Chain A
Amino acid sequence: MNDMSALHAVSATPATHAGLDLARIRAEFPILRQRIHGKPLVYLDNAASVQKPKAVIDAISACYSGYYANIHRGVHLLSERSTLAYEGAREKVRAFLNAASTQEIIFTRNATESINLVASSFGGSVVKAGDEIVITGMEHHSNIVPWQMLCQRTGATLKVVPFTDAGELILEEYERFLSSGRVKIVAVVHLSNALGTLNPVKAMIDSAHARGIPVLVDGAQSVPHLTVDVRELDCDFYAFSAHKIYGPSGVGVLYGKQALLEAMPPYQGGGDMISLVTFEKTEYADLPNKFEAGTPSIADVIGLGAALDWLNAIGLNAVAAHEHELLEYATAQLQDIPGLRIIGTARDKAALASFTLQGVHPHDIGTILDRDGVAIRAGHHCAQPVMQHYGVPATARASFAVYNTRDEVDALVKALYKVKELFA
């Protein structure tokens, strides 16, 4: 990153250092072709939700127009084909996470529901009054509120691992919490959506396991940006959303170790999750169906499978390298803007830059950038405790996906100078 002029020179060519053909990749996203307020769309709100490649849109369309029917029940051909495609997507997710078995892959609505499932089912049966639940100060609300609700129901206490001004967890405090002997579960975010911090979850899991404490990892942000191997991590639960990994909205994944999932009571009751129902008694279905009550979002699950195929074909390592390069390029340029403060400067960061601009509220930044076609997120990012730590009501956030280019970073920076000019 020392020679910025060299980086500028590269930006005109479609191939990246990571060897990606960005022009070809961008052509696969129909939405990126449009103009916003007369300007080319520069979509940098990927941490909120990422755009969809044609392969995913086509897979969903092919399901509805070719072989759609309900799954797990029909003897007719369409139902068999839908079931095959749906269960095929489960195998794709298993392989993507390197889980031991498809029985460990539960489809939910989103990462939030995955976490709620664990808090409700596992937490509800294991956590008692006087117990403790450890989370961190940089969690998304979806990994705070379900645990708070569990604490309210059970009389347990929430312990929050603090973080430094750079945005790195204070692991000494984490160890201190673990040593109380009362901790029943740890829930930690893999990649912070508000700060971009990549947390040392492997070391945190090892520490917890040394004391027999299970760990849930919130992987909503991490899965599109880095290779996750749940067996190598040895995490007990891993949650993510399809819509952040080029798949459709409305589908989430919960990975759970088989022994834990088998011991847990069902989360919701209904069809598909039973093996026998009489009015006296119900026998629950085996994994994973026990946790999939009711008709799921069949076509969208199949769409998630297509998204993973698409991402695998590009290669997650190449994606990560490209995004890392973009983040370094953006960080260097943003730091040069007078009055701009980057929120979250951890050594291990990925995929996004959160920032404030002196004298300008992030919402005003967002509105002005939008008029230049640049879409960013402005707000508290569903992580209000993080905002409180830095004493800011909100931040602006530019977040990257595989299809973003250096030219788009340049457009962001140029638009930010316009903001400064207007508010001078």
Chain B
Amino acid sequence: MSDMRDLYQEVILDHNKRPRNFRIIAEPTHTANGLNPLCGDRVSVFLDIQEGVIRDIAFQGAGCAISSASASLMTEALKGKKVDDVGPLFDAFHTVVTSDSECPHGLGKLSVLAGVRDYPSRVKCATLAWHAVRAALEEHQQPVATE
């Protein structure tokens, strides 16, 4: 049971039970759906981006504790951040959940998901919401870039 607590830390259990920013943004500037076809986890992310800053971010969906808590923690981490900071933060987070290297600095609460690295089949749960955010950003940036 003790090693299960390494994965299911209190913060994760808490965010699973009471996910933060678990709502819909009525008129998001960016939105995308993430789907884990193998396990059926699905998440929708909504962002309100003004002048390159994430003013608001929310999510909806159904998934396991790891994917729900990760989405919830992600919204807390990204709110108020610059869009340009999302990529590096995702990279750092991805490193934390996939490799044995030291936790990069600046991840804050996101580092509670580090235990996922010992459960390779669950990495996709922890990164689903992040992939959805990246899809939301790319989808809308491309048309902007061509104009």
Contact = CB atoms under 8 A, between A and B. Distances in A.
A421 B125 CA distance: 22
Given A393-B40, A422-B8, A371 B122 contact: no
Nearest to B17: A359
Interface size classification for chain B: 20 to 34
A98 interface: no
A360 interface: yes
Interface size classification for chain A: 20 to 34
B40 A364 contact: no
A363 B125 contact: yes
Contacts of A160: none
Contact of A364 (B3, B62, B66): B66
A52 interface: no
Given A363-B39, A379-B39, A387-B40, A371 B4 contact: yes
Interface string B60-86: 001111101000000000000000000
A393 B35 CA distance: 12
A78 B8 CA distance: 57
B1 A394 contact: no
B13 interface: yes
Contact of B40 (A359, A384, A418): A384
Nearest to B125: A363
A311 interface: no
A367 B7 contact: yes
A354 to B, nearest CB: 14
Contacts of B39: 363, 378-380, 394
A361 B119 contact: no
Interface string B92-126: 00000000000000000000000000010110010
A362 B41 CA distance: 11
A393 B121 CA distance: 18
Nearest to B39: A379
Given A394-B39, A422-B1, A422-B4, A367 B62 contact: no
B15 to A, nearest CB: 13
A64 interface: no
A390 interface: no
A142 B41 CA distance: 21
Nearest to A363: B64
A379 B62 contact: no
A368 interface: yes
Interface majority SS (helix, strand, loop, mixed), chain A? helix
A394 B40 CA distance: 7
Given A367-B7, A418-B1, A422-B13, A361 B65 contact: yes
A78 to B, nearest CB: 42
A324 B64 CA distance: 31
B64 A423 contact: no
B17 to A, nearest CB: 8
A408 to B, nearest CB: 20
B38 interface: yes
Contacts of A387: 40
A393 B65 contact: no
Given A361-B63, A393-B62, A380 B40 contact: yes
Contacts of A393: 40-42, 62-63
A384 B36 CA distance: 13
A423 B13 contact: yes
Nearest to A394: B40
Contact of A379 (B7, B38, B42, B68): B38
Contacts of A394: 39-40
A368 B4 contact: yes
A360 B40 CA distance: 15
A367 B120 CA distance: 11
Nearest to B62: A393
Contacts of A379: 38-40
A55 B39 CA distance: 34
Contacts of B64: 361-364
Interface of B: 1, 3-5, 7-8, 13, 17, 38-42, 62-66, 68, 119, 121-122, 125
Interface of A: 359-364, 367-368, 371, 378-380, 384, 387, 393-394, 418, 421-423
- The 10 A-B residue pairs with the shortest CB-CB distance in the complex, in nearest-first order: A361-B64, A363-B64, A393-B40, A364-B65, A380-B40, A393-B62, A364-B64, A394-B40, A379-B39, A368-B4
14 contacts: A361-B65, A363-B66, A363-B122, A364-B64, A364-B65, A368-B4, A368-B8, A379-B39, A380-B40, A387-B40, A393-B42, A394-B39, A418-B1, A423-B65
